[in-house]
Amino acid sequence: MAIAISQSPPRVHGAAHAVSDRVFGGAVFLYFLGVILPTELAVNLFGLALFPVRIVLLLFFIPAVLQLTKTRDFRLQSFDYFMLLAMVWLLIALSVNNGVEKGIKYGGSLVLEAAGGYLLARAYIRNYAQFANAVRTYLVCVLVAAAFAFPEAFLKIKFVHGLASSLTGNPDIAVTSEAGRLGLERATSTFDHPILYGVFCATSLGLVWYLYHGRKERWLMAAIIAFATFCSVSSASFLAYAMAVGFIAWERYTRGINNRAAITLTCGAILYAVLEVFSNRTAVEVIIGFIVLDSWTAYYRVLIWHNALIDLANHPVFGAALTAWTRPAWMTGSVDSFWLVTALSGGLPTVSCVVLAVVLLLTKVHQRTGLRETRERWQARYGWTAAVLALCFQAFTVHYWGSMHSLFFFILGMGAWMSDSRNGLVRDGDKPAAAKTAGARPGRAPVTRAPVARIPVTGRPGLRPRGRERRGA
């Protein structure tokens, strides 16, 4: 009798964890489904266009907040406050420049996409198992999007947006008039623009690579993601993929170097200064010229920055009115930079708060704790970092809107659990907390032991969770 009573709580506790994992996984699946569904499936409600991803975010916004209030290891941190402040100031700035009605209507949509994506990830990704499940879901969506992109790029067969438009009566808004490149049609797949599709695919590389760390499958996955990205024929997408590859190589070959991040940043600053001093162009113009496929595209992006920065200097607090930034008459109203659009829409306070939130979040996740980390947490930490850096750097030449705007903040939220949870951190002699809950099998290659307690955690792969051999016996 006593034995039965003592054994029942663990069973109930395990069942509760299994149910919560399924619920959390379902929320993440619905979110990614909303991301890849065409915008033409939008529903018009009181003059508001509710795209599939916005519908999902509306459904989960309040439940996500409630879930966070009852999550034991969650705590509001500095980056959360900066993110909240950015959203509030964006609404204020848009209302000041465009009127209260338009500011709340347009700003509310942006806040729903950004804050909703961030909150959903913050609430429903709380450990490695849920993180790994989200990455797998992301990968499946990349494969689905690539399946639609292949006939577009190589056979010029487009039907996704037309079919969605015929179902709802909404106009087909996918960009199809741009000239092809490299003899291929620029595929949009289920997204509004080839760049958005390409960025969506390329950003997944770091996450997938580290999820399958030590396994041969990761090379196949990387090749598939490369092909999916190539179908967009977009220099911005190629840049995102190259950024992830560069980060992976950097992480692999600098593990034995102390303070490698500081050294790398210092070298980057020196290179930037050299380009500024010894080149007849600015460093930004030189860099953009190297990373884009079309020289005209590079020149046009430089013009955008030159003209938009003048407006930002004149209106630093609240930014400029929508589509009212100063430019020559022959230039379109498009601003091809997420950071620049954020600054123009919400002023320097908004973009500064977002940048500070990203920097603080990266710092917190990589903060030295004096504890050892499991292999899984190490995989999550570096895979997430690769994705965040790819998104942030390509945001200088690409504007994220719609589902990709939301995905940017969702990916930021994906790694936040590592900053306020000890899941995956262990002391000497303790068993990893993640050993019983890790749902994804890590790579089978030998791992390097992380430092013992009281020695800062390095960038080496962490410990394999103990007890796995017993469970597999």
Tell me which DSSP letter residue 191 carries: S
The whole-number pLDDT of residue 183 equals 66
Rounded Cα gap, residues 126 and 424, in angstroms:
11
And the tokens for 379? 């995989």
And the tokens for 47? 């003059």
- Could you give the C-alpha distances from 118 to 87, 235, 293, 371, in angstroms and in order? 11, 27, 32, 28
Is 421:217 a contact under the CB 8 Å cutoff?
A: no
CA 190, chain centre distance (Å): 18
Task: Tally Cβ neighbours within 10 Å of residue 75.
Answer: 11
Per-10-residue mean pLDDT of the chain, 473 residues long, equals 36 53 87 94 80 94 93 90 96 90 87 95 93 96 94 85 85 67 79 92 95 90 94 86 92 88 89 79 68 66 81 87 73 82 92 96 87 88 95 88 94 93 68 43 38 41 46 37
The stretches of 368-437 forming alpha helices (DSSP H) are 375-394, 403-414, 417-420
Instruction: Provide DSSP, 316-332.
Output: TTT---TT-----TTS-
- Could you give the C-alpha distances from 332 to 302, 304, 335, 435, in angstroms and in order? 14, 10, 8, 54
Residues 6+ apart with CB under 8 A from 40: 161, 164, 165, 167, 168, 170, 171, 172, 173
And the tokens for 271? 């290179």
Residues 6+ apart with CB under 8 A from 325: 307, 308, 311, 333, 335, 344
Is 442:376 a contact under the CB 8 Å cutoff?
A: yes
Rounded Cα gap, residues 295 and 179, in angstroms:
15
And the tokens for 88? 């509030």
Is 236:202 a contact under the CB 8 Å cutoff?
A: no
Rounded Cα gap, residues 203 and 196, in angstroms:
11
Numbers of helices and strands, H then E, in the chain: 17, 4
Tokens 């179902």, located at residue = 167
Is 87:114 a contact under the CB 8 Å cutoff?
A: yes
Tell me which DSSP letter residue 182 carries: T
Rounded Cα gap, residues 203 and 237, in angstroms:
8
The whole-number pLDDT of residue 471 equals 38
Rounded Cα gap, residues 427 and 366, in angstroms:
17
Rounded Cα gap, residues 460 and 447, in angstroms:
8
What values do phi and psi take at 48, rounded to 5?
-100, 130
Rounded Cα gap, residues 429 and 452, in angstroms:
10
Rounded Cα gap, residues 400 and 51, in angstroms:
15
Q: Is 213 helix (H, G, I), strand (E, B) or coil?
A: coil
Q: What is the pTM of this model?
A: 0.85
The whole-number pLDDT of residue 332 equals 74
Dihedral sign from CA coordinates of 165, 58, 202, 440: negative
User: What distance, in Å, lies between the first and last C-alpha atoms of the chain?
Assistant: 29
Is 139:121 a contact under the CB 8 Å cutoff?
A: no
Rounded Cα gap, residues 64 and 158, in angstroms:
37
The whole-number pLDDT of residue 368 equals 79
Rounded Cα gap, residues 364 and 280, in angstroms:
39
Is 305:340 a contact under the CB 8 Å cutoff?
A: yes
The whole-number pLDDT of residue 169 equals 82
The stretches of 99-193 forming alpha helices (DSSP H) are 100-124, 128-155, 160-168
Rounded Cα gap, residues 66 and 380, in angstroms:
25
